[in-house]
Structure 1
Amino acid sequence: MIAMLYTKKSPDEFYTYGYKRMEILAALTNALFLLFLSFSLAVEALHAFVQDESEHKHYLIVSAVTNLLVNLLGVWFFRSYARIRITYRKAEDMNYHSIFLHVLADSIRSAGLILASWLLTLGVKNAETLCLGLVAIAVFLVVMPLFKATAGILLQMTPGTMSSSILNKCLRQIKSLEGVLEPRSRFWEMVPGFVVGSITVQVKAGTNEQKLLKHIHSVYNDIGIKDLTVQIDPQP
């Protein structure tokens, strides 16, 4: 909720791109929490395996069922994000999806506890270990796509929505221009759907820089990159 409030703030002299990445940071934090939950469940499953499981046959079924029903209501509320992999079009998509996954993971955990309790009443050996292990794996699998997506943006990786072949083609077009010696570029997503980039171009002395700038912006505008910083370094 705090991240959502921050994103409403306008860009200022310190954060010239605004605060949209707060929602991505919130989503990453949620993903890290769920990965930690997965790890702790795996440790709990191992602990149940190495000790006498008979001490763990009594579950708070009423609490688990109530928790599951409440979480299923939350899953329904965020049903528009009820997919493991979705295409993020804006920062808030990541935040809402992380909330959905958080509720889903809690639902899976409650369902695992209920299943383990039922299997134990049937006399199934190592039921707790089995169910906790399956829940740990399930939580890990559902949260990893979100973790990779949020971490990729915050680490400023090349956008997955933009193939390297397209970027290389643009770079070759610039390199083929008269007077261009060596172009170097990097591109990343500020938030989902908003790609920014910078390009440094070494040129021969006497090259028409204004004409070159116009051509470079035109090349990258054609593939949807509107925010581009171009630095031209004339060689003596």
Structure 2
Amino acid sequence: MERSNVSKQRFLIVTLLNVLITVVEIIGGLVSGSLALLSDAFHNLGDSISIVLGYFAQVISGRPENRRRTYGYRRAEILSAMANSIFLIVVSIALIVEAIKRFSHPEHINGRIMLIVAIIGLIANLVSAQLLHSGSHDSLNVKATYLHVLSDALSSIAVIFGGVILMFFNITWLDPTLTILVALYIAKEALPIIKQTLSILMQSSPDLDYEAIKHDLMQVPGVVGVHHVHAWTIDEHRIVFSAHLNCHDMMLSEVEKIYLQVEKILNDKYDIKHVTLQAECQRGRDEELFNPPIDHDKLC
């Protein structure tokens, strides 16, 4: 799968829209007295920073491999996605804390101003979401940025709902309640991204059927054993795979033919494109597919 390539122009437009929304909502929040509007304003300010961070991470990740970064810079996007998602969680907690305080100390809110500003924010957020939507399916970095914008759009809808009601009824608990609901939604969307980025950074194994892989490789003529298997991901798409193959005693030129067949199987059937193989004759033939954990007591 190709990596997402959201253009510089789109990132710039989304950033400018978020800055505009932030200014309008801060003014509108202060004038109307709406916590939901003010919290959304600071959320948008954070989004602007996150969008810029996401863009630079995308640029950095495209740099070629070198002797200092032999796997390249693809994890810059993973780090950016994690930072953005953690920021969303922090913002959510802060909004919930402030909303709870509002229950004890309610304030009068101007529903008309709240409604007008929220509509402006919703339009701008929907435009931003549309600009980022195409790249949100195949990049955690763009997805995290897209979620920032999408959560703002949802927040604007909630504020619009609250503004309409507050124009007719003075319900003091409505504004903080809407704030809490939006904050919980933001956290719900951010947590899976944090979990996935942590898994990648911890070099957790991708979801592969390793027994099926072993079975397929054992069907290659000349392969009599597979062991010492390792698999991890550089980013959400690129799987790195290494294995030791026990082969019949043969010339190196014949081993290379086996390598080509193994690489083709891994690429075509399991979408593994970065493969490192080590051929052995008898060495490690009795070992398991994965190395057993080291018994440190025996080493002492």
TM-score after normalising by structure 1:
0.74
What is the correspondence of 1:67-216 to structure 2 with a 5 Å cutoff? 67-81=121-135, 86=137, 88=138, 93-121=139-167, 122-124=169-171, 126-160=173-207, 164-165=208-209, 167-172=210-215, 180=225, 183-200=227-244, 210=252, 215=258
Q: 1:197 to 1:46 in 2, by over 3 A?
A: same
Structure 2 residue 69 is matched with structure 1 residue 15: yes
Residue 142 of structure 1 and its aligned partner are, at CA, apart by 2.7
Q: Distance in 2 between matches of 1:232 and 1:102?
A: 48
Correspondence for 2:275: 228
Q: 1:100 to 1:179 in 2, by over 3 A?
A: closer
What letter matches 2:240 in structure 1?
V
Which residues of structure 1 form unaligned runs of 5+? Answer: none
Q: Distance in 2 between matches of 1:119 and 1:57?
A: 11
Correspondence for 1:66: 120
What letter matches 1:112 in structure 2?
A
Work out the number of aligned pairs and report it: 219
Correspondence for 2:56: 2
Q: Distance in 1 between matches of 2:135 and 2:71?
A: 26
TM-score after normalising by structure 2:
0.60
Which residues of structure 2 form unaligned runs of 5+? Answer: 1-54, 285-300
Q: Could you give the per-residue CA deviations for residues 191-228 of structure 1, whole angstroms, max 9, x where no partner exists?
A: 23321122246x69x95595667646634531332322
**Cα RMSD (Å):** 3.3
Paired-residue identity, %: 25
Residue 15 of structure 1 and its aligned partner are, at CA, apart by 0.5
2:134 match: secondary structure: helix
**Contact 2:108 2:172 (8 Å CA) reproduced:** no
Q: 1:119 to 1:209 in 2, by over 3 A?
A: farther
